[in-house]
Structure 1
Amino acid sequence: MSLANHIGVSPVEFRRARKSDCGDVTDIIHKTVRKVYPAYYPAEVADFFCMYHSRERIQADIQAGNVWVLRVDGRTIGTGSIEENNITRLYVLPEFQGKGYGTRIIGELEQRIGEEYGSVGLDASLPSCFLYEKLGYHTIRHERIHLMNGIVLVYEVMGKQLVMTNRI
């Protein structure tokens, strides 16, 4: 038993995703999209996100070393990815949202990006915009993707200046 358990705090681990994490990462994304997005978007948008974040794409990103996972008590509950100086595919299981885990993932990813870049960007879905604003991101522009049957996916392109650490 870890010291963290003796004081009532769950042990938290943030690490690069492994090949064996692909199923968990896919499940986190799809469960979150299916649970959260219907309050903000038509069903076709949730379908689009689940197709876009396919197991094959996630697996390729894991193999490229771009995917990270957040684990609590040995369970993977959140994920985020990095592409150059962009945070992508950040999701926390719905039952763990509102507890600071998304903020933890963003902070960890920003720290890694800050080692090489002075700014970070991301595409924010409607459910996540307020979290990113709270963490210092600002909207650069509004975007939209026209899907089938006149359905439009709207999102924000956001950015933030970073405090540079360990940059040469």
Structure 2
Amino acid sequence: MKYISYLTAVVLALLVVLVVFDATGRYLFSHGSTALQELEWHFFDVVILLSIAFTLRHNAHVRVDIFYEKFSPKTQALINIISTLFFVLPLSFLIIYISIDFVTMSFEQLEASSDPGGLKYRWIVKALMPLAFVFLALQAFKELVSDIKKWKSL
């Protein structure tokens, strides 16, 4: 997971450079590129998808903290267990299941951008979807084991 976060940080830095380059070219030199704009979206997809499991690992995901923080550690662990079992894991498995066909179809069709000058091989970025949710499911299992141990010990 650590190396995935490093990769994501590098892609985020490249995204910033790419956006500055693209915006400078578009607004100062009146020269834009469809491929660069699409590459920005692809980099953005990489950052978001590969950050999901990292966010869960560092307990930085969205939650109603105004209630959660006031609960006892045992109740917090129980909430984490229930949410992992009934929301995170089922949703991860559903997205993995559905997205595999989605990626397969894109690969078989050699899907490319419909815009002139757009990027080819769109299936590559689409392949990150099932991969990202495999990482999320693995991290969720790790968190589930940790929360069960915590809940039992309190």
Tell me the TM-score normalised to structure 1 length: 0.23
Higher-Rg structure is 2
Per residue, is there more strand in 1 or in 2? 1
Per residue, is there more helix in 1 or in 2? 2
Tell me the TM-score normalised to structure 2 length: 0.24
- Bigger RCO (CA 8 Å, 6+ sep): 2
